[in-house]
Amino acid sequence: MTVGILKMNTPTQQPRKDQQIIMSQTIQEKNKALVLDAFDTLFNKRDYEAAERYWSPDYIQHSAHIEPGRGGLFNLVRNAPDTLRYEHQLIVAEGDYVIAHGRFSGHGPPVAWIAADIVRIENGRLAEHWDVLQDEATKAESKSGLPMFGDHFTA
């Protein structure tokens, strides 16, 4: 993670444009790390007490297959098989928004889900979530001939 220190000569001095960009990148890197840590804590480690520190108590859930709020998400994971795993391939951030491209496997159905999770960060916590999910295609099903996740097919 990038850490930026900004020294001002006077309390009213404004940061230069290049300093603002560095500060913004630092916030974006921090938000990406927050989302990855949160997902690992909840989906892979299943540490619900620790996960409460990542998700806002006022968490807004837009996903059509998850009950409302933080409790709905935590209950979904509690009721999922112990084999549930999350892995990410790509993560991008813009301001308070983070988009993670990942794979949910071992969740019950025989095929993994490829996900684009969009998360809004507020006060250092995951505050709002949207997702787009698709069953992972096999090589035979892929019209492009390319895997949806990673550099090779798993099936």
- The residue ranges of every structural domain in the chain are 17-135
* pLDDT reported for residue 102: 97
CATH number assigned to the domain with residue range 17-135, chosen from the 4 options 1.10.240.10, 3.40.50.720, 3.10.450.50, 3.30.450.260: 3.10.450.50
Kindly state the greatest CA–CA separation across the chain: 64
Tell me how crowded residue 75 is: count the other CB atoms within 10 A of its CB: 14
Percent of the chain, pLDDT > 90?
Answer: 73
Tell me how crowded residue 1 is: count the other CB atoms within 10 A of its CB: 7
> Which range has the worst mean pLDDT, 28-32, 118-122, 148-152?
148-152
* pLDDT reported for residue 40: 98
**5-58 tens-digit pLDDT:** 333 344 455 655 555 555 556 899 999 999 999 999 999 999 999 999 999 999
pTM metric for this prediction: 0.82
Strands across the sheet containing 85-94? 55-61, 125-135, 113-122, 97-105, 85-94
Which of 87, 85, 80 minimizes the C-alpha distance to 102?
Answer: 87
